[in-house]
């Protein structure tokens, strides 16, 4: 079985209705780090399947979706924005933050805690 890796998905969708559909599918598949940028972990086959599903939602003449393999999300260079301003998990006091830097609800957070720890572990 193929070993899972990390992929950074970026998209630019021209039509608001198609944008909503693409964004919903991306939210189910990975973690938003910006409005149109997601990190997703999976095999190359899974990423091709996701791109196929996304391809059914867009019009290639007007829309663009790209997937870039990355070693790990913590290897992506950033400056400013949410990731600099607000840690997504503060392990010392167990506070969690959503992608907008605001404290998240405890009900939706338990599943994401282990994901964020895997995401940012060194």
In a 13 Å sphere around the CA of 3, the CA atoms on its Cβ side amount to 3
The neighbouring-strand residues paired with 42 are 5
pLDDT at 17: 97
The neighbouring-strand residues paired with 11 are 65
Residues 66 and 94 in one domain: no
Q: Is 12 annotated as a binding residue?
A: yes
Residues 23 and 59 in one domain: yes
pLDDT at 86: 43
pLDDT at 99: 44
Residues 11 and 66 in one domain: yes
Residues 12 and 53 in one domain: yes
DSSP string, 83-107: HHHS-SEETTTTEEB-TTSSBPPHH
pLDDT at 74: 78
Domain hosting 25: range is: 5-74
User: Does the model's pTM come out above 0.75?
Assistant: no
pLDDT at 3: 77
For the chain (length 122 residues), average pLDDT per consecutive 10?
86 96 95 91 93 96 94 76 47 42 46 50 48
Q: Which residue has the tokens 């400013």?
A: 80
Are 30 and 9 contacting, i.e. CB atoms less than 8 angstroms apart? Answer: yes
Residues 66 and 9 in one domain: yes
> How many structural domains does the chain have?
2
């Amino acid at each position: 079985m193929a070993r899972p890796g990390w992929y950074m998905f970026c998209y630019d969708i021209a039509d608001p209705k198609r944008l909503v559909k693409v964004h919903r599918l991306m939210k189910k598949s990975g973690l938003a780090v910006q409005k149109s940028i997601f990190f997703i972990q999976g095999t190359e086959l899974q990423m091709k399947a996701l791109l196929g599903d996304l391809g059914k939602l867009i019009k290639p003449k007007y829309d663009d979706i790209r997937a870039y393999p990355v070693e790990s999300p913590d290897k992506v260079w950033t400056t400013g924005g949410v990731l600099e301003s607000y840690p997504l998990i503060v392990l010392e006091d167990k506070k969690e933050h959503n992608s907008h830097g605001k404290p998240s609800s405890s009900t939706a957070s338990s599943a994401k805690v282990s994901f964020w720890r895997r995401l940012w572990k060194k």
